C-alpha cells in the first residue's frame, strides 16, 4: 500500500539553476570560444597576482608577502588569492614555478652536459651545479616557499628533481638503491643547507660546487683513485 501511495504521489519539481558561488568556482558549459576566454581570463588573473607578489618581494623581501598584502596590491578580494593558490606556501611556490620549469627544460632537452648527450655522471655533476646556483640566486624566496615537513618531499618540483636523479643513478650504479641514494644527494642541494653554508659559514659557491662534484664521484665510484 505504501508503495502504491508513493508511486501515485506527484514527483517534486526539478531543482532550478543555482547561483554560482565565487569567481573561481564559476562553472559554465558553453562553446570552445567561451571556454578559451575563461581560461585566458584565469591566466591573466593569475599573472596579475604573481606580478603583485613579485613586486612585494622586491620591495620588502619574502617576509613581506602575505595573502592579504597580495590581495591589496592586486586590488582583488583576499578569498581570490586563497582560492587561486591555497595558502602562502602555494603562492610562493607558484613564483618559483617558472624557474623550476626552466630547469626541467634544461635537463630534459637542453644542451649537454646538463641535457641529453653527455655521460650520466657528467649530467649528474652539471645538474647539481645548476640547482646550487639557482638556489643561491633565489635563496630567500626558496627558503620562504619550502612546504611544511609533511609536504616537503612530495611537492611536484621536488619529485621532478628526484625522478631525474634516480634515472641518472640507475644508469651509473644500477645495483644501488637509487631512490634512497637520490634522496641523500638532494639533501646536499637543499636551500636550507645552501643558506647555512654560504650565509652562516661563509663558504663561497665555488667550494660548494667542488664539494658536489666530489660527492657525486665518491657516491658513484667514479672518484679518481690514488
Whole-structure pTM value: 0.65
Percent of the chain, pLDDT > 90?
39
Interatomic CA distance for residues 167 and 20, integer angstroms: 46
Fold of 88-220: Tetracycline Repressor; domain 2 (1.10.357)
pLDDT computed for residue 23 by the predictor: 33
Sorted by sequence, the CB contacts under 8 Å of residue 127 that are 6+ apart come out as: 107, 114, 164, 165, 168
pLDDT computed for residue 226 by the predictor: 52
Q: 7-11, 61-65, 101-105, 165-169 — which is least confidently predicted?
A: 7-11
Higher pLDDT, 20 or 71: 71
pLDDT band at 88 (very low <50, low <70, confident <90, very high): confident
Average pLDDT rounded to a whole number, residues 10-16: 41
- Phi, psi of 138, deg, nearest 5: -125, 40
CATH architecture of 31-85: Orthogonal Bundle (1.10)
| pLDDT per position as a tens digit, 115-169 | 999 999 999 999 999 999 988 888 877 887 777 777 778 878 889 999 999 999 9
Domain boundaries, the chain: 31-85, 88-220
Average pLDDT, the chain: 80
- Phi, psi of 15, deg, nearest 5: -65, 145
Taking only Cα atoms into account, the Rg of the chain, rounded to an integer number of angstroms, comes to 25
Same fold, 31-85 and 88-220: no
CB atoms within 10 A of CB 146: 17
Amino acid at each position: 500500500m505504501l508503495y502504491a501511495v508513493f508511486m501515485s504521489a506527484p514527483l517534486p519539481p526539478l531543482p532550478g539553476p543555482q547561483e554560482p558561488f565565487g569567481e573561481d568556482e564559476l562553472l559554465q558549459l558553453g562553446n570552445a570560444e567561451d571556454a578559451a576566454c575563461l581560461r585566458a581570463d584565469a591566466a591573466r588573473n593569475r599573472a596579475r597576482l604573481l606580478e603583485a607578489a613579485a613586486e612585494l618581494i622586491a620591495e620588502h623581501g619574502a617576509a613581506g608577502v602575505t595573502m592579504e598584502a597580495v590581495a591589496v596590491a592586486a586590488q582583488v578580494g583576499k578569498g581570490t588569492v586563497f582560492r587561486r593558490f591555497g595558502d602562502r606556501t602555494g603562492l610562493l611556490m607558484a613564483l618559483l614555478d617558472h624557474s623550476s620549469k626552466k630547469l626541467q627544460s634544461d635537463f630534459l632537452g637542453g644542451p649537454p652536459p646538463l641535457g641529453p648527450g653527455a655521460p650520466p655522471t657528467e649530467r649528474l655533476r652539471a645538474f647539481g651545479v645548476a640547482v646550487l646556483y639557482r638556489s643561491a640566486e633565489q635563496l630567500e624566496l626558496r627558503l620562504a616557499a619550502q612546504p611544511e615537513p609533511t609536504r616537503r618531499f612530495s611537492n611536484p618540483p621536488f619529485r621532478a628533481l628526484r625522478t631525474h636523479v634516480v634515472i641518472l643513478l640507475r644508469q651509473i650504479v644500477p645495483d644501488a638503491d637509487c631512490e634512497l641514494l637520490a634522496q641523500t644527494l638532494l639533501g646536499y642541494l637543499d636551500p636550507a643547507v645552501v643558506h647555512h653554508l654560504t650565509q652562516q659559514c661563509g663558504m663561497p659557491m665555488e667550494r660548494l660546487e667542488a664539494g658536489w662534484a666530489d660527492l657525486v664521484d665518491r657516491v658513484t665510484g667514479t672518484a679518481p683513485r690514488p
